[in-house]
Amino acid sequence: MGAVRLVMLGPPGAGKGTQAANFAKAHQVPKISTGDILREAVQAGTPLGRQARAVMESGRLVGDDLVIGIVGERLERGDAANGFVLDGFPRTIPQAQALDTMIDGHAPLVIVDIEVPEDALVERLSGRRVCGACGWTAPPGLTACARCGGTLVQRRDDNPEIVRERLRVYARNTLPLVEFYRRRPAFRSVDGDQPEDAVAADIAAAVASVIGGER
């Protein structure tokens, strides 16, 4: 398979981060998560990182221009030359347009949207337990933390009502972006309501169906 430039979309609880990490590892490309690279830029004290720190310290959200700048810096690093998996970017249409400009002339951008029905997401997220002592996320069925033996608790924002509200907010914010991408030939929707391995296999097949067609 040639260079893979992949954008992963999906609601909270769809397993997007895990799938992005596994795909990146299997294809030996970096997984670029906006949260991670924002933190890195802030820590490294780059000019954009210093701007981002100032915005975050004032309690505001980091705007499109700054996020675009930081992702752009990251994509210029050598390890992204042969592809990447983006997780958490783009979030808005201006960010998506900027991404198109950044990769202009390179391999096609593949967009994979992991779809999971709302009820399944609510069940997953509201069934989630984390360790009250160390923060570890426990798989279903455990009664104590496998790392430290601590008591498992439910995060406050994992209760069903708050989960439904988070999903509504996600849908409202992301729908325009999904519509922006949906008409493209490199857009694929994957059924996320299956075991993790099956979702991973579907993602790999979806990407291959786009990249394969390029050859």
Binding site for Zn ion (CB under 5 A): 131, 133-134, 136, 145, 147-148, 150
Instruction: Tell me the closest approach of the beta carbon of residue 4 to Zn ion, in angstroms.
Output: 36
Annotated catalytic residue, options 5, 16, 124, 129: 16
Nearest residue (CB) to Zn ion, 142 versus 205: 142
Nearest residue (CB) to Zn ion, 134 versus 205: 134
Instruction: Tell me the closest approach of the beta carbon of residue 131 to Zn ion, in angstroms.
Output: 3
Annotated catalytic residue, options 5, 91, 129, 164: 91
Residue 53 annotated to the active site: no
Instruction: Tell me the closest approach of the beta carbon of residue 149 to Zn ion, in angstroms.
Output: 7
Judge contact between 74 and 32, C-beta under 8 A: yes
Residue 91 annotated to the active site: yes
Annotated catalytic residue, options 31, 74, 129, 166: 166
Nearest residue (CB) to Zn ion, 44 versus 142: 142
Strands 129-131 and 152-153: antiparallel
Residue 156 annotated to the active site: no
Residue 31 annotated to the active site: no
Residue 155 annotated to the active site: yes
Instruction: Tell me the closest approach of the beta carbon of residue 36 to Zn ion, in angstroms.
Output: 23
Nearest residue (CB) to Zn ion, 138 versus 210: 138
Instruction: Tell me the closest approach of the beta carbon of residue 148 to Zn ion, in angstroms.
Output: 3
C-alpha radius of gyration, the chain, whole number: 18
Judge contact between 183 and 160, C-beta under 8 A: no
Nearest residue (CB) to Zn ion, 134 versus 169: 134
Annotated catalytic residue, options 155, 164, 168, 182: 155
User: Annotated active-site positions, please?
Assistant: 16, 91, 128, 155, 166
